[in-house]
């Protein structure tokens, strides 16, 4: 006979597995989006590298794909798509294609957030499942909002970089290793400065039909150690 405590453990475990599993799938789709647009735009090497297979092993890096994203998600609630696909930009047909290659990843997160939020609205799952799906949807929207920022190292910068003067692009190349880390430090450590970002993300979340209250319950269950 299940006790209330056993039921809570089952809900927590189910939420953690669903969110982590869903995040792994979204990681693959994010990187697949980059690779597919690059392939259509002239970089046929992405097929040989296995980026069109949706095999998560092709997109992962031990630190960038596992350690750093999990730490940011656990301690700051910041979802970082940690995979990577290496694009041969010289093979792409135009600057417009380069921009769309960068935008394809964040847009995949936005579409996933929309689909997850709609699944809660349309199918009305039980509360624990609705909360977990809502939190996963919020993570997708946060990933979209984060990655679309025009900061070196993020996809938003990659979208505008082809159109920038050479000196600005050179600055971006130098800033690429540390600029995202500085941003994450601000988002996690300086709540007052981070508020506009989260306000924007929750506004987008509402636009796609997300329920902030359900997402909050899902987050509380997922981050049970906090």
Identify the pLDDT of residue 8: 84
8 is catalytic: no
- The average pLDDT across 2-11 equals 71
Give the least confident one: 11-15, 138-142, 146-150, 185-189: 185-189
Identify the pLDDT of residue 81: 61
- The average pLDDT across 149-158 equals 93
- The average pLDDT across 111-132 equals 96
Residue pair 99/159 in contact by the 8 Å Cβ criterion: yes
> Quick count: other Cβ atoms within 10 Å of Cβ 27?
23
Q: Tell whether the model's pLDDT for residue 62 goes beyond 60.
A: no
Query: Which of 31, 45, 98, 161 is flagged as catalytic?
Result: 31
Split at pLDDT 50, 70, 90, the class of 63 is low
CA neighbor of 201 nearest in space, from 110, 121, 112: 110
Distance of alpha carbon 166 from alpha carbon 147, whole angstroms: 23
127 vs 68 pLDDT, higher one: 127
Identify the pLDDT of residue 65: 60
Residue pair 226/136 in contact by the 8 Å Cβ criterion: no
Identify the pLDDT of residue 6: 60
Give the least confident one: 64-78, 106-120, 191-205: 64-78
Which tens digits make up the pLDDT trace of 171-220?
999 998 888 888 888 887 888 888 999 999 999 999 999 999 999 999 99
Q: What is the mean pLDDT of the chain?
A: 88
Split at pLDDT 50, 70, 90, the class of 95 is very high
Is residue 28 packed enough to be buried (19+ CB in 10 Å), middle (13-18) or exposed (0-12)? buried
Q: Positive or negative CA dihedral for 211, 212, 215, 216?
A: negative
Identify the pLDDT of residue 28: 86
Identify the pLDDT of residue 7: 79
Dihedral of the alpha carbons of 12, 226, 73, 20, in degrees to the nearest 10: -10
Cβ density class 119-152: b for 16+ within 10 Å, e for less: bbeeeeeeebbbbbbbbbbbbbbbbbbbbbbebb
Tokens standing for 162?
């082809």
pTM score above 0.85: yes
Residue pair 84/13 in contact by the 8 Å Cβ criterion: no
- The average pLDDT across 129-143 equals 96
Which tens digits make up the pLDDT trace of 19-58?
988 888 888 899 999 999 999 999 999 999 999 988 877 8
- What residues contact 72, with CB distance under 8 A and at least 6 apart? 78, 79, 80, 184, 188
> Quick count: other Cβ atoms within 10 Å of Cβ 206?
13
Q: What is the CA radius of gyration of the chain?
A: 18
Residue pair 169/161 in contact by the 8 Å Cβ criterion: yes
């Amino acid at each position: 006979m299940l006790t209330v405590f056993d039921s809570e453990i089952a809900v927590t475990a189910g939420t953690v597995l669903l969110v982590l599993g869903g995040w792994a799938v979204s990681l693959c789709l994010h990187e697949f989006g980059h690779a597919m647009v690059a392939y259509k735009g002239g970089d046929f090497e992405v097929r040989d590298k296995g980026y069109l297979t949706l095999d998560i092993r092709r997109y992962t890096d031990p630190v960038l794909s596992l350690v750093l994203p999990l730490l940011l998600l656990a301690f700051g609630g910041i979802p970082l798509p940690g995979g990577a696909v290496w694009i041969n930009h010289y093979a792409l047909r135009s600057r417009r294609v380069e921009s769309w290659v960068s935008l394809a990843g964040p847009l995949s997160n936005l579409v996933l957030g929309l689909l997850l939020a709609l699944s809660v609205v349309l199918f009305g799952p039980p509360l624990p499942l609705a909360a977990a799906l809502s939190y996963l949807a919020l993570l997708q929207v946060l990933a979209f909002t984060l990655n679309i920022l025009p900061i070196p190292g993020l996809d938003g910068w990659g979208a505008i970089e082809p159109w920038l003067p050479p000196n600005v692009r050179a600055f971006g190349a130098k800033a690429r290793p540390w600029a995202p880390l500085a941003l994450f430090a601000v988002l996690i450590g300086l709540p007052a400065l981070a508020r506009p970002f989260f306000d924007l993300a929750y506004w987008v979340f509402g636009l796609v039909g997300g329920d902030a209250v359900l997402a909050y319950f899902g987050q509380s269950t997922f981050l049970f150690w906090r």
